[in-house]
C-alpha cells in the first residue's frame, strides 16, 4: 500500500523524493523547495549541477558484493512544476545491487524516498532505513541458460502443445512432408512469440488459450480427411501463430530481463525448438515404422485422432467456461 501511494507522480512533492534505477542509469528526483534548503539552485542548472550531485548522488552508494559501482558525469534538469532531477550513468557488475540513500539524514524529518528498480517498485526508504537491494545487470550466460531450459521445460510439460504435435505426426506419410509441417509450425510460433514478447502485438489469454484448444481439435478432425501435405503446411502455419501467443504468455509470467531481452527471447524460443525437435525425433521414426502395418492407418490413426479431437474439445470447453 505504501509503495502504491508513493507513486512517481508525487516524486516532486516536499517530503517525498524518487529514485529510478535501471541497469545502467540512475535518476533521483526532488522537490526544488526542499532540495534548496540543502544546496542553492540557481537559474543556470548546469552551474548548479556539480553542487547538487555532491549533496545527492555523491552521498548515495551503489555496491555489488561489497564492491562499489561507478557513477558517470551527472546531468540536472527541471521536471514538472517544481521538481529537479539529477541523473547519471551507472556501471555495476552483474548481481544484486545494494543502494543506500546516504543523503536522507540531511533532509527534513519524516522524508520518504520512493525507489523503483528496473521498472518495478522496490521500497520506500527513510533516514532510519536508507538501504534497498535489487537485481542489477543480468549475467548474459546465466540468462541464456535459464531461458533455454525454461523453453525446453515448457514444451515438455505443455501437454496441449505436445498433443497438437502428436496430431500432426499421426498424419505424416513421409519424413520430408513432416519436416515441412514442423518447420511451418516453428516459423509461425516464432513470429508471434517474438512480436508479443516485444509488445508489438497482444491478445488476451482468454482468447489465446481456447484458440489453442480449438486448434488441437481441428488437427484431430482434419486427420480423417487425410489432408495433402501442402494444405497441412499452410494450416499448421496459421495454427502455429496462435500457439506463439501461448508461448508469449508464459514469457510474460516469467518476466523478461530488460537488459538482456534479446538473449532471453532467442534462448527461450531456442529451448522450445530443442524440446520440440526431441519429441519429433523420438516419435516420428516410430510412427513412420508403424505405417508398415495396414491396421495402423485403418484403425490406430483414427482412434488416436478421436482422442486428440476429444481432448481438444474438452480443453476448449474448460477454458471457455473457466474464462467466462
Closest CA to 223 of 140, 306, 285, 139: 306
pLDDT in tens, 303-318: 999 999 999 999 999 9
Question: Where in the chain does DSSP place strands (E)?
Answer: 16-22, 25-31, 61-64, 67-68, 70-71, 75-79, 83-91, 96-100, 112-117, 120-125, 131-135
Q: What is the mean pLDDT of residues 54-75?
A: 90
- Residue 231 and residue 184 in contact, taking contact as beta carbons nearer than 8 Å: no
Confidence of residue 323 (pLDDT cuts 50, 70, 90): low
Angle between the 205-222 and 159-170 helix axes, to the nearest 10 degrees? Answer: 20
Residue 217 grid cell: 481439435
pLDDT in tens, 112-168: 999 988 777 888 999 999 999 887 666 677 778 888 988 898 888 888 988 998 898
Residue 8 has pLDDT above 70, yes or no: no
Confidence of residue 107 (pLDDT cuts 50, 70, 90): confident
C-alpha 104/C-alpha 131 separation (Å) is 10
pLDDT in tens, 178-229: 888 888 888 999 999 888 888 888 888 889 999 999 999 999 999 988 878 7
C-alpha 240/C-alpha 222 separation (Å) is 16
* Summary mean pLDDT of the chain: 84
Reduce the DSSP state of residue 300 to 3 states and report it.
helix
pLDDT in tens, 271-287: 988 998 898 888 888 88
Residue 20 has pLDDT above 70, yes or no: yes
Give the pLDDT confidence score for residue 10 in this predicted structure: 40
Q: What is the mean pLDDT of residues 6-35?
A: 74
pLDDT in tens, 152-176: 988 888 889 889 988 988 877 777 8
DSSP state letter for 133: E
Sorted by where each begins, the domain ranges of the chain are 2-135, 140-323
Q: Which residues contact 28 (CB under 8 A, 6 or more apart)?
A: 17, 18, 19, 20, 56, 57, 60, 85, 86, 87
Does this model's pTM top 0.85? My answer is no
Q: Which residues contact 230 (CB under 8 A, 6 or more apart)?
A: none
Amino acid at each position: 500500500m505504501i509503495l502504491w501511494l508513493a507513486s512517481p507522480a508525487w516524486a516532486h512533492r516536499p517530503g517525498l523524493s524518487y529514485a529510478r534505477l535501471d541497469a545502467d542509469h540512475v535518476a533521483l528526483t526532488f522537490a526544488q523547495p526542499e532540495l534548496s534548503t540543502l544546496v542553492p539552485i540557481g537559474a543556470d542548472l548546469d552551474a548548479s549541477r556539480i553542487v547538487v550531485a555532491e549533496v545527492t548522488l555523491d552521498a548515495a552508494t551503489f555496491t555489488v558484493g561489497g564492491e562499489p559501482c561507478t557513477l558517470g558525469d551527472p546531468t540536472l534538469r527541471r521536471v514538472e512544476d517544481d521538481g529537479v532531477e539529477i541523473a547519471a550513468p551507472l556501471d555495476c557488475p552483474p548481481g544484486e545491487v545494494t543502494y543506500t540513500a546516504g543523503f536522507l539524514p540531511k533532509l527534513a524529518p519524516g522524508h520518504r524516498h520512493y525507489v523503483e528498480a528496473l521498472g518495478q517498485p522496490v521500497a520506500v526508504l527513510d533516514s532510519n532505513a536508507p538501504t534497498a537491494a535489487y537485481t542489477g545487470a543480468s549475467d548474459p550466460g546465466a540468462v541464456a541458460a535459464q531461458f533455454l531450459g525454461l523453453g525446453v521445460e515448457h514444451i515438455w510439460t505443455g501437454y496441449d502443445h505436445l498433443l497438437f504435435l502428436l496430431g500432426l505426426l499421426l498424419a505424416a506419410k513421409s519424413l520430408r512432408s513432416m519436416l515441412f509441417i514442423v518447420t511451418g509450425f516453428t516459423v509461425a510460433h516464432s513470429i508471434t512469440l517474438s512480436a508479443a514478447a516485444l509488445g508489438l502485438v497482444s491478445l488476451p489469454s482468454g482468447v489465446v488459450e481456447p484458440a489453442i484448444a480449438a486448434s488441437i481439435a481441428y488437427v484431430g478432425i482434419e486427420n480423417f480427411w487425410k489432408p495433402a501435405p501442402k494444405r497441412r503446411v499452410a494450416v499448421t502455419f496459421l495454427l502455429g501463430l496462435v500457439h506463439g501467443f501461448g508461448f508469449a504468455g508464459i514469457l510474460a509470467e516469467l518476466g523478461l530481463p530488460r537488459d538482456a531481452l534479446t538473449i532471453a527471447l532467442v534462448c527461450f524460443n531456442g529451448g522450445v525448438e530443442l524440446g520440440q525437435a526431441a519429441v519429433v525425433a523420438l516419435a516420428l521414426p516410430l510412427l513412420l515404422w508403424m505405417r508398415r502395418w495396414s491396421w495402423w492407418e485403418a484403425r490406430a490413426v483414427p482412434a488416436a485422432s478421436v482422442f486428440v479431437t476429444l481432448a481438444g474439445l474438452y480443453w476448449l470447453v474448460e477454458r471457455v467456461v473457466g474464462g467466462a
